[in-house]
Structure 1
Amino acid sequence: MRRFLMCLGPLCLVVLFALVLSAPFGLPGQDSLAHVLILGTVWLWALYRPDAMALWSVVLGGLAAELLLGGPPGVLFFWMLVTYAIGSTHVGQPQAGFLASWVTFMLLVAGGAVTEWCLASLHALTIFSFLPVMFQFALGAGIYPLLYAFFMWEQRRPSQRMRS
């Protein structure tokens, strides 16, 4: 039961990001921001807290994100599963440090953006501009340090409360 409750944290965070960023705020790059935040959540939890990130929570979060967000169907869900698989199997990567996890995350974001671009271009039978792909990559590269800092702060916080 405790593991089930632990797995609700990342699931709720993914659903919250999808729900908030599916609202029509009119922010430029809002869809890209949602994808980066969701992939970042899955990556950080799978890499640094694999005990709290179960496959069923990735599947449920992916289904919720697919229902709430736009884009080619299944692309975000597929890349969430790929991100989870890579993050949960890289047991020694947290010791490799921030830079290794950042580069790997940027490659995952780039893979997702290129896949989405290819499918959208194929569906429309035209080649779209590559600028949105570069924007999503830059957004992922820029936002990951903030996600990482927040995640590490949040992971240390309960232990600091225990000492007090």
Structure 2
Amino acid sequence: MTVNPSLWTRMEIASRRMTPVMLTVLASLLTVIPARIPALQPVVPLWPMMMVFHWSLYRPDLMPVTAVLLIGLLHDALIGAPIGLNALVFVMIHGAVNSQRRFFTRKPFGIIWLGFAVVSAAGLAAAWLLGSLWNRHVLSPDALIFQYLLTLGCFALVFRLMLGWQRVVLGQT
């Protein structure tokens, strides 16, 4: 029995092209594993936000806005947030990054990190505002600020891992 090599080739290409979305879904699943820090509520970095930023910047063809929306809805369901809250934030980040792709092209990591800092701060501020409106009282920003700082600190790791993934798995430099 012979196997059509073009079928296997097409399957391999399809699986490689799905990896940014699948990695972002995995990142969303990792978010529900809390890091226990004394005197603070469970806080984890916003792994999916980092992934949405990265893939929207470097491979928007593999991270379409519909996938970002669905990942946001999944993330909301996983963390118990109002459905649509993070979906809206992730779509806003996707749009902001896509609108500035030309600016970020070939910029050093420091500029990209600064861009992520600004975009993620705006996204978290929007999430805080919408969450406060949803709960009908002003939410304490303490955990959100810590989560923001933790996310900024972890961004370099995610950035390097995803650049390596692009080179090895997606065959892109």
Structure 1 residue 153 and structure 2 residue 164: aligned?
yes
- How many residue pairs get aligned? The number is 157
User: 1:79-118 counterparts in 2 under 5 A?
Assistant: 79-92=89-102, 93-118=104-129
When residues 151 and 110 of structure 1 are mapped into structure 2, their CA distance, relative to the original with a 3 A threshold, is same
Q: CA deviation at 1:45?
A: 0.6
Counterpart of 1:142 in structure 2 is 153
Per the alignment, residue 29 of structure 2 pairs with: 19
Task: Structure 2: state its 5+ residue gaps.
Answer: 1-9
Overall identity of the aligned pairs, in % = 24
Provide Cα deviations, 1:79-134, integer angstroms capped at 9, x if missing partner: 11011112223232122221222112112221232223333434444444332232
Q: 1:124 to 1:43 in 2, by over 3 A?
A: closer
Q: Determine if the alignment matches structure 1 residue 76 to structure 2 residue 86.
A: yes
- 8 Å Cα contact 1:72/1:119 also seen in 2: no
Which letter does structure 1 place at the counterpart of 2:58?
Answer: Y
Alignment partner, residue 54 of structure 1: 64
Q: Match for 1:37: what amino acid?
A: W
Unaligned segments of structure 1, at least 5 residues? none
CA RMSD in angstroms, aligned pairs only: 2.7
Amino acid aligned to 2:53? W
The answer as to whether partners of 1:66 and 1:77 remain within 8 angstroms in 2 is yes
Q: Distance in 2 between matches of 1:59 and 1:122?
A: 21
Closer/same/farther in 2, CA of residues 129 and 106 from structure 1, 3 Å limit = same
Contact in 2 for aligned 1:18/1:69 (Cα 8 Å): no
Q: Which has the higher helix share?
A: 1
Tell me by how many angstroms 1:54 deviates: 1.6
Q: TM-score, normalised on structure 2?
A: 0.74
Distance (whole Å) between structure 1 residues aligned to residue 25 and residue 97 of structure 2: 20
Range with bigger deviation, 38-47 or 10-19? 10-19
